[in-house]
């Protein structure tokens, strides 16, 4: 089986449309949506587009998907206003459906073997793994994971590393990547691991985000157009992880 892994779309419809054109050209057997699908400027439209796909699709629930459909939003959540805005744009039926997405799925991938797909880690949708996570911490995270290959997202940085007896792959982010080169990031798995980047009209996407009504839209635009580097993000996430924060 060959799988196109699309993670962290974050409601960026322009990025998604561009990626899906490349995915169709690659002709995978399955499209794997690895979580954090809707929290962004075009939540309902993003779901509409994905539900219209003709290829087989698997859905994984990410930490922001979980938060968006939770009964209440914590008062101290820094994305509280955006979470509420997105939740209002999802029907009760769709909210219930998202709440039921699995947190992991496993597939036999051509050339890779049994591969578990998760959002953060196989045990926690908000747990952090970066390119610089220590072997010691990874051994603890991967304890009990049987599959030799683990594919995740969450930190919006593409990488492919071998550690703790596993091959650990991050597919990157379609909607809000933290990379030096601009574009929408995803991965094609089978027979190997191919990190892909799809170029699209960022200026048009930024204008559409500004006009959509999401709270603090300009902050999203700034991150889209001038993201932090992978090194900056990895160091910041590692500090959060070792301090006990997982989001």
CATH code assigned at 138: 3.60.21.10
Total number of domains constituting the chain: 1
Instruction: Give 245's pLDDT tier (boundaries 50, 70, 90).
Output: very low
Q: Is residue 87 part of a domain?
A: yes
Q: Tell me how far CA of residue 157 lies from CA of 119, 142, 176, in angstroms.
A: 13, 20, 10
Instruction: Give 244's pLDDT tier (boundaries 50, 70, 90).
Output: low
140-151 tens-digit pLDDT: 999 999 999 999
27-76 tens-digit pLDDT: 999 999 999 999 999 999 999 999 999 999 999 999 999 999 998 887 77
Q: What is the pTM of this model?
A: 0.95
Q: Tell me how far CA of residue 149 lies from CA of 142, 205, 219, 220, in angstroms.
A: 11, 34, 35, 32
202-237 tens-digit pLDDT: 999 999 999 999 999 999 999 999 999 999 999 999
Q: Is residue 47 part of a domain?
A: yes
Close Cβ partners of 247 (under 8 Å, ≥ 6 residues apart): 63, 126, 240
Contacts within 8 Å (CB) and 24+ apart, 143-147: 145/116, 146/114, 147/106, 147/113, 147/114, 147/115, 147/116
What is the dihedral angle through the alpha carbons of 173, 210, 47, 51, rounded to the nearest 10 degrees? -90
Please list the helix, strand and coil fractions of the chain in percent, rounded to the nearest 5, in that order: 35, 20, 45
Residue 145 sits in which domain range?
3-242
What local confidence, expressed as pLDDT, does residue 78 receive? 80
Q: Is residue 45 part of a domain?
A: yes
* 3-state DSSP assignment of residue 25: helix
Q: Is residue 217 part of a domain?
A: yes
Q: What is the DSSP string of 119-130?
A: SSBTTBTT----
Q: Is residue 247 part of a domain?
A: no
What local confidence, expressed as pLDDT, does residue 76 receive? 79
Which residues are paired to 187 by β-bridges? 5, 195
| Residue 97, both tokens | 């459906």
CA dihedral sign of residues 95, 97, 98, 102: positive
């Amino acid at each position: 089986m060959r799988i196109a892994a699309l993670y962290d779309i974050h409601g960026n419809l322009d990025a998604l449309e561009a990626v899906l054109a490349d995915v169709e050209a690659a002709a995978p057997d399955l499209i794997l949506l690895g979580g954090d699908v809707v929290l962004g400027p075009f939540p309902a439209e993003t779901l509409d587009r994905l539900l219209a796909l003709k290829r087989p699709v698997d859905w994984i629930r990410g930490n922001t998907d979980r938060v968006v459909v939770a009964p209440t939003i914590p008062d101290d959540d820094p994305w509280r206003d955006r979470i509420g805005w997105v939740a209002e744009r999802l029907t009760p039926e769709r909210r219930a459906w998202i709440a039921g997405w699995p947190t992991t799925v496993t597939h036999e991938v051509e050339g890779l073997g049994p591969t578990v797909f998760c959002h953060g880690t196989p045990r926690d949708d908000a747990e952090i793994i970066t390119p610089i996570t220590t072997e010691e911490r990874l051994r603890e995270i991967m304890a009990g994971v049987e599959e030799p290959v683990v594919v995740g997202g969450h930190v919006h940085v593409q990488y492919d590393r071998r550690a703790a007896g596993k091959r650990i792959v991050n597919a990157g982010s379609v909607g809000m990547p933290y990379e030096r080169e601009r574009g929408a990031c995803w991965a094609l798995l089978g027979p190997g691991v191919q990190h892909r980047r799809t170029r699209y009209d960022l200026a048009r996407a930024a204008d559409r985000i500004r006009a959509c009504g999401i709270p603090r839209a300009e902050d999203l635009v700034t991150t889209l157009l001038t993201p932090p580097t992978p090194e900056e993000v990895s160091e910041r996430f590692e500090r959060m992880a070792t301090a006990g924060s997982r989001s």
